[in-house]
Amino acid sequence: MTTAALRKEIQGYIAKMPEHKLVVLKPLLSEFAKPSYTIEPASAHERKIAEKHFKEYEENPASFVALD
């Protein structure tokens, strides 16, 4: 089933629901509609730490261990 077809089917179910059930469904749907992650900018403290480690790496790359 395609995403479009699935959305249409679900919207059909919602259209047929009595109002008292919609009130129960709304919190669930609103939760699912939120993004699964949030990207926040680094704080001044986090940027300072990263800059320190970049400088350490530039001064001595051999002291760092590759992740692979």
**CA dist list (Å): 17 to 6, 7, 42:** 17, 15, 44
Q: Is residue 68 over pLDDT 80?
A: no
Q: Is residue 8 over pLDDT 80?
A: yes
- The model carries a pTM of 0.48
Q: DSSP 3-state helix, strand, coil percentages of the chain (rounded to 5)?
A: 70, 0, 30
Q: What is the pLDDT of residue 57?
A: 93
Domain ranges of the chain: 3-63
Q: Is residue 54 over pLDDT 90?
A: yes
Average per-residue pLDDT in the chain?
Answer: 92
3-state secondary structure of 32: helix
pLDDT in tens, 24-36: 999 999 999 988 8
Would you say 3 and 11 are in contact if contact means Cβ atoms under 8 Å apart? no
